[in-house]
Amino acid sequence: MAAESASAIPKGQVDLMDFIDWSGVECLNQSGSNTIVNALKQGYREDEGLNLVSDADEQLLIYIPFNQVIKLHSIVIKGPEEEGPKTVKLFSNKEHMGFSNVNDYPPSDTVVLSEDNLKGKPVTLKYVKFQNVRSVTIFIEDNQQDGETTNVQKIVLYGSTVETTDMKGLKKIEDH
């Protein structure tokens, strides 16, 4: 299993889980006992018995802030064949989105997940749209069979960190 996971990582990219600001992660319409942590956090997301499940209907709105600026390259969203996510819209740097205004903004990218994607094949995103990312919002619009609930087993974000200038390291140039 570990070898399979390692080979799925796109060349030059890393799992961005270590750069997630966990205190700011939110998920709207998640079931009380089947929360976003089950699909996103290391250890939990590898346990197929732990899933993120939608509550009132099939839609999920997930907000993931990062503790530094990243470039998002690709995403893995695993789920079961019938209840797994289908149409997924991703928004870069859009905060405070809700179901009432999610359609007011054009998504940075929209993907339709295939059976291979639901089994763990990464989806390469429009890389130019995800260059200076402080947060990503994932809107799962529907599921494979148009059922009442959507089930997500695992979410993995692949990308890289953006090298930023350390302002403290700069020295003031004296006027002459």
For each of the chain's 176 residues, which pLDDT tens digit applies?
A: 333 444 566 678 999 999 999 999 999 999 999 999 999 999 999 998 899 999 999 999 999 999 999 999 999 999 999 999 999 999 999 998 999 999 999 999 999 999 999 999 999 999 999 999 999 999 999 999 999 999 999 999 999 998 765 555 555 566 55
Extract the tokens encoding 175. 């006027």
What separation in angstroms does the CA of 2 have from each of 5, 33, 75, 117? 5, 27, 18, 18
Shortest CA distance to 65 belongs to which of 123, 16, 10, 120? 16
CA 63 – CA 60 distance, rounded (Å): 10
| The pLDDT value given to residue 163 | 75
Predicted model pTM: 0.87
